[in-house]
């Protein structure tokens, strides 16, 4: 069988889980709750079993009897019902699984399952949850809806500094619940092969973690599990958690002795898989009258939904929220987060964000604009005054991070010059004099990516290192495998480039393979822009190990001692004698044909444990016009100047920036997963949850500065998350700047036309 046609090997282009078709395959459909909170009085499957083609139905009770009623959530600190047991906790929760000969029969069978519910009172927000009048999770030891309290910084000193500050601003800012909405929903095919081994094709951003989690949940020995994640149609954090549907498909395959395919619908994806954000943040800044920050304090209520399935490393329940001091030299700070259960879908995943960095970045960047407004200082000047200076790196932030490198002033100045800030200010003043609403919005953010150093970071106890294995073949071609998993980020290109650059080989002949747990070394996967900082570093380190070995073989070929050989101009040469040299290609051939006293072969593996995170940063500027009559916002220009350290591939990086800006634009202006007071989800498809097309998407202008990471082998920082982290604040700041002559100080995202129009109307009626 050709590799492309063999469903066990779905690496490569254009192979999706839904393309996997196996003999005798059954299809699974899930019955989902219509109520957000209800007792299950009974489940009647008799009508479903009569549907032509339906083979079996399983419920929560069946799974519970088999010891599979619950699965651990991402960080292992909570558990989640696989299928509802006794009651449902959110609308669209998984209640039963139907297995049938065709997809249509499975769907018909699911329709025919009769569930009798007794509705219970609904807890639709964290502020109601806090009152503990209705306890949602009596299965837990602590009978409260409060999940955790997390804090960092110096509470007392911060309180004193804020109280003693001549100027203070305070703002409640909500980063709304949104959804990554990858174009391909989640899905899997579970098959127990003739050896009784689970062959599991799944849309996973972290295949090895899945293998371990499946083994822990099901008791199947890990060597009997083969996880394959092919092209997965986008992930954005949505394909990190292990979802109930996966467990059901595996159980179905085991019980029925046939392969089972489950592919989510769009509605299932939007309503039941990992949402993002939903942080209600009260942020306060203290400052001197001339705009020097004296303190920052932020207190957050987090809505985690029915189970604590937030995707954060075990010791960081609020992720990297501590980066909320942003790019600014804040003397003292305190941040706290309290999380609550509500009757909503579980999640809080790292949607194009390194674990709550997007929320933190949005809060500080909005607050800086509010402070600038309060002080009557230009928002740029306030930033410039408070930036961490380049000579302060490595910089220890008040909330415990050590920023590796950056030159914020340089990045800002480049952005101002590129966009022509002075001319824009002049134009804005003229327009304001005519009553027109033009806004210029800034976001000068700092990210923290590359989770992470094993002394701090783990998931389910597994340290967050990553890995690379490189094999160079006799002809100088090669293969690199990593524990990361590309979902369209171009690892196939950039990993090959790292190997080629380190070894002087042709990148066209370096095959990149990820996503297959039988072949790739163990890794924690791709999310939170960790691939380049961690797996990318593992690749460079492994390549250098290959080069060390190659040097010994080169010495043999050149008939000199190893100490007399140097690597220069992408080849080995006798020190000071350029005429006597061998290429890596020649060495590769010798490694298999004439290795001399050396061990044959040319390969190396590296498990890279990063010493620190990397801190990419940038200056984003949005220029908008707001129509006073309709509230319509037009993005006239958007400039992103990013600094992600050494750039491996400028085109790939630009693609990352364009994609992330488009998602940030959508969050700022059109996306929100809304629930009504009764807990009904109002955004269940793409007519209610909007995804921007090329028609709405603005033109993106990009530029960059380079301050390499001092601790990364090639100086690279992550970049994929930056545009999503940095851009929402730039958009909203621009709209508020446009509306500021009317006295508008803040609007919650999404800043829809309707909201803007109402703000203008209220302001004109003197209500703000």
Q: Which stretch binds ligand CDP (CB under 6 A): 321-329, 485-493, 625-633, 747-755?
A: 485-493
**Helix ranges (DSSP H) in 594-740:** 650-669, 722-739
Per-residue DSSP letters for 53-66? TEEEEEEHHHHHHT
The continuous run of DSSP H or E covering 94 comes out as strand 94-100
708 contributes a contact to ligand CDP by CB under 6 A: no
d(CA 529, CA 652) in angstroms, rounded, equals 14
Q: Cβ of residue 450: shortest distance to ligand CDP, in angstroms?
A: 8
Q: Cβ of residue 610: shortest distance to ligand CDP, in angstroms?
A: 12
Which of residues 233 and 750 has its CB atom nearest to ligand CDP in the complex?
Answer: 233
In 3D, which of 20, 71, 10 has the Cα closest to residue 209?
A: 71
Choose which of 208, 239, 481, 530 interacts with ligand CDP (CB under 6 A): 530
Q: Can you give the C-alpha Rg of the chain in angstroms? A: 27
Enumerate residues 164-193 that contact ligand CDP by CB under 6 A. none
Q: Cβ of residue 492: shortest distance to ligand CDP, in angstroms?
A: 8
647 contributes a contact to ligand CDP by CB under 6 A: yes
Is residue 711 within 8 Å of 611, Cβ to Cβ? Answer: yes
Choose which of 656, 681, 724, 733 interacts with ligand CDP (CB under 6 A): 656
Contacts with 170 (C-beta within 8 Å, 6 or more apart), sequence order = 282, 283, 284
Which of residues 583 and 646 has its CB atom nearest to ligand CDP in the complex?
Answer: 646
Q: Cβ of residue 334: shortest distance to ligand CDP, in angstroms?
A: 30
State the catalytic residue, choosing from 199, 353, 489, 663: 353
Enumerate residues 50-89 that contact ligand CDP by CB under 6 A. none
Which of residues 441 and 645 has its CB atom nearest to ligand CDP in the complex?
Answer: 645
Choose which of 653, 668, 744, 756 interacts with ligand CDP (CB under 6 A): 653
Give the bridge partners for 212, in sequence order.
Answer: none
Which of residues 360 and 652 has its CB atom nearest to ligand CDP in the complex?
Answer: 652
346 contributes a contact to ligand CDP by CB under 6 A: no
Helix (H, G, I), strand (E, B) or coil at 577: strand
Contacts with 269 (C-beta within 8 Å, 6 or more apart), sequence order = 179, 181, 182, 185, 186, 238
Cα–Cα distance list, 275 to 181, 351, 721 (Å): 9, 8, 16
467 contributes a contact to ligand CDP by CB under 6 A: no
State the catalytic residue, choosing from 137, 297, 352, 383: 352
Choose which of 305, 439, 476, 645 interacts with ligand CDP (CB under 6 A): 645
720 contributes a contact to ligand CDP by CB under 6 A: yes
Q: Which stretch binds ligand CDP (CB under 6 A): 83-91, 162-170, 263-271, 710-718?
A: 710-718
Q: Cβ of residue 322: shortest distance to ligand CDP, in angstroms?
A: 21
Choose which of 198, 311, 661, 719 interacts with ligand CDP (CB under 6 A): 719
648 contributes a contact to ligand CDP by CB under 6 A: yes
What order of strands is seen across the sheet that includes strand 617-626?
A: 437-446, 617-626, 633-643, 701-704
What order of strands is seen across the sheet that includes strand 38-44?
A: 87-88, 38-44, 114-119
Q: Which stretch binds ligand CDP (CB under 6 A): 172-180, 370-378, 523-531, 673-681?
A: 523-531
31 contributes a contact to ligand CDP by CB under 6 A: no
CB-count burial class (<10 Å; 0-12, 13-18, 19+) for 219: exposed
Enumerate residues 531-590 that contact ligand CDP by CB under 6 A. 531-532, 536
652 contributes a contact to ligand CDP by CB under 6 A: yes
Q: Cβ of residue 530: shortest distance to ligand CDP, in angstroms?
A: 5
Q: Cβ of residue 722: shortest distance to ligand CDP, in angstroms?
A: 8
Geometric angle at alpha carbon 564, from 562 and 565, rounded to 5°: 70
Dihedral, 161, 163, 167, 169 alpha carbons, nearest 10: 100
Is residue 681 within 8 Å of 92, Cβ to Cβ? Answer: yes
659 contributes a contact to ligand CDP by CB under 6 A: no
Asked about 352 being catalytic, the answer comes back as yes
Which of residues 294 and 656 has its CB atom nearest to ligand CDP in the complex?
Answer: 656
Query: What DSSP state is assigned to residue 646?
Result: S
CB-count burial class (<10 Å; 0-12, 13-18, 19+) for 609: middle
712 contributes a contact to ligand CDP by CB under 6 A: no
The continuous run of DSSP H or E covering 483 comes out as none
494 contributes a contact to ligand CDP by CB under 6 A: yes
658 contributes a contact to ligand CDP by CB under 6 A: no
State the catalytic residue, choosing from 91, 93, 199, 205: 205
Q: Which stretch binds ligand CDP (CB under 6 A): 216-224, 258-266, 433-441, 483-491?
A: 483-491
489 contributes a contact to ligand CDP by CB under 6 A: yes
Asked about 625 being catalytic, the answer comes back as no
In 3D, which of 758, 755, 728 has the Cα closest to residue 359?
A: 728
Is residue 45 within 8 Å of 96, Cβ to Cβ? Answer: yes
Q: Cβ of residue 6: shortest distance to ligand CDP, in angstroms?
A: 26
Q: Which two tokens stand for residue 233?
A: 């149609």
Asked about 544 being catalytic, the answer comes back as no
Q: Which two tokens stand for residue 594?
A: 């004439």
718 contributes a contact to ligand CDP by CB under 6 A: yes
Give the bridge partners for 42, in sequence order.
Answer: 116
490 contributes a contact to ligand CDP by CB under 6 A: yes
Q: Which stretch binds ligand CDP (CB under 6 A): 245-253, 341-349, 362-370, 488-496?
A: 488-496
Size of the site for ligand CDP (CB under 6 A): 24
d(CA 177, CA 171) in angstroms, rounded, equals 19
Q: Cβ of residue 469: shortest distance to ligand CDP, in angstroms?
A: 17
d(CA 613, CA 70) in angstroms, rounded, equals 34
Q: Cβ of residue 451: shortest distance to ligand CDP, in angstroms?
A: 10
- Return left, alpha or beta for 676; rule: phi > 0 is left, psi -120 to 50 is alpha, else beta: beta
Question: Which residue is it, tokens 């593996």?
Answer: 605
Q: Which stretch binds ligand CDP (CB under 6 A): 63-71, 107-115, 716-724, 744-752?
A: 716-724
d(CA 461, CA 315) in angstroms, rounded, equals 10
Q: Which two tokens stand for residue 303?
A: 């809505």
Residue 499 — φ and ψ, nearest 5°?
Answer: -60, -45
Active site amino acids: 205, 352-353, 721
Q: Footprint of ligand CDP on this chain (CB under 6 A)? A: 489-491, 494, 526, 529-532, 536, 644-649, 652-653, 656, 716-720
């Amino acid at each position: 069988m050709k590799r492309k046609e063999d469903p066990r090997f779905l690496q490569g282009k254009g192979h999706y889980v839904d393309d996997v078709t196996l003999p005798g395959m059954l299809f699974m459909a899930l019955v989902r709750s219509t109520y957000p909170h209800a007792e299950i009085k009974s489940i009647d499957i008799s009508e479903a079993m009569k549907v032509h083609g339906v083979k079996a139905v399983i419920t929560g009770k069946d799974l519970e009897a088999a010891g599979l009623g619950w699965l651990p959530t991402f960080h292992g600190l909570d558990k989640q019902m696989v299928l509802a047991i006794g009651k449902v906790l959110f609308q669209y929760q998984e209640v039963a699984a139907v297995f049938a000969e065709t997809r249509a029969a499975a769907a018909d069978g699911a329709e025919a399952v009769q569930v009798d519910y007794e509705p219970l009172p609904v807890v639709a927000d964290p502020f109601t949850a806090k009152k503990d009048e209705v306890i949602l999770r009596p299965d837990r030891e602590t009978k409260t809806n409060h999940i955790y309290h997390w804090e960092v910084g110096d509470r007392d000193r911060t309180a004193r500094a804020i109280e003693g500050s001549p100027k203070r601003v305070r703002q409640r800012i909500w980063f709304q619940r949104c959804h990554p909405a990858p174009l391909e929903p989640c899905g899997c095919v579970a098959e127990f092969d003739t050896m009784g081994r689970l062959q599991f094709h799944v849309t996973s951003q972290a295949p090895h973690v899945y293998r371990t989690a499946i083994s822990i949940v099901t008791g199947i020995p890990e060597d009997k599990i083969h996880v394959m994640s092919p092209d997965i149609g986008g992930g954005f954090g949505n394909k990190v958690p292990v979802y109930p549907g996966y467990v059901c498909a595996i159980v179905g395959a085991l019980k029925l002795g046939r392969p089972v395919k489950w592919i989510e619908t769009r509605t299932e994806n939007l309503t039941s898989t990992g949402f993002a954000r939903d942080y209600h943040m009260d942020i306060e800044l203290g400052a001197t009258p001339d705009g020097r920050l004296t303190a920052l304090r932020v207190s957050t209520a987090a809505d985690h939904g029915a189970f604590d399935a937030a995707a954060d490393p075990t010791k960081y329940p609020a992720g990297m929220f501590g980066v909320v001091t942003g790019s600014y030299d804040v003397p003292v700070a305190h941040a706290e987060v309290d999380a609550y259960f509500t009757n909503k879908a579980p999640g809080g995943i790292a949607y194009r964000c390194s674990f709550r960095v997007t929320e933190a970045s949005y809060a500080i960047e909005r607050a800086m604009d509010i402070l600038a407004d309060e002080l009557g200082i230009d928002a740029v000047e306030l930033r410039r005054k408070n930036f961490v200076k380049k000579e302060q790196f490595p910089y220890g932030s008040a909330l415990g991070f050590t920023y590796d490198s950056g030159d914020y002033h340089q990045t800002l100045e480049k952005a101002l010059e590129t966009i022509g800030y002075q001319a824009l200010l002049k134009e804005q003043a003229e327009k304001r004099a005519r009553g027109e609403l033009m806004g210029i919005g800034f976001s000068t953010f700092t990210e923290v990516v590359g989770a992470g150093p094993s002394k701090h970071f783990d998931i389910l106890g597994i340290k967050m290192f990553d890995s690379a294995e490189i094999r160079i073949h006799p002809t100088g071609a090669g293969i690199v495998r990593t524990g990361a998993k590309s979902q369209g980020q171009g690892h196939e290109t950039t990993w090959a480039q790292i190997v080629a650059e380190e070894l002087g080989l042709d990148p066209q002949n370096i095959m990149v393979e990820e996503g297959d747990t039988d072949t790739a070394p163990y890794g924690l996967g791709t999310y939170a822009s960790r691939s380049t900082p961690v797996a990318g570093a593992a690749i460079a380190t492994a390549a250098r190990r290959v080069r060390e070995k190659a040097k010994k073989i080169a010495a043999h070929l050149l008939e000199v001692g190893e100490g007399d050989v140097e690597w220069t101009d992408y080849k080995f040469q006798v020190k000071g004698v350029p005429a006597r040299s061998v290429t890596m290609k020649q060495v590769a051939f010798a490694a298999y044909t004439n290795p001399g006293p050396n061990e044959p072969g040319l390969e190396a593996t590296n498990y890279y444990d990063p010493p620190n995170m990397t801190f990419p940063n940038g200056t984003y500027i949005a220029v908008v016009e707001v129509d006073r009559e309709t509230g319509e916002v037009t993005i006239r220009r958007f400039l992103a100047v990013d600094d992600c350290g050494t750039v491996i591939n400028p085109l790939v990086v630009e693609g990352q920036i364009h994609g992330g800006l488009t998602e940030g634009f959508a969050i700022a202006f059109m996306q929100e997963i809304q629930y009504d007071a009764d807990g009904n989800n109002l955004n269940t498809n793409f007519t209610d949850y909007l995804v921007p097309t090329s028609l709405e998407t603005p033109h993106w202008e990009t530029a960059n500065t380079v301050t390499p990471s001092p601790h990364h082998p090639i100086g690279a920082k992550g970049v994929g998350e930056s545009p999503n982290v940095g851009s929402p604040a730039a958009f909203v700041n621009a709209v508020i700047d446009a509306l500021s002559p009317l006295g508008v100080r803040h609007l919650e995202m999404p800043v829809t036309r309707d909201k803007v129009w109402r703000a203008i109307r209220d302001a004109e009626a003197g209500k703000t």
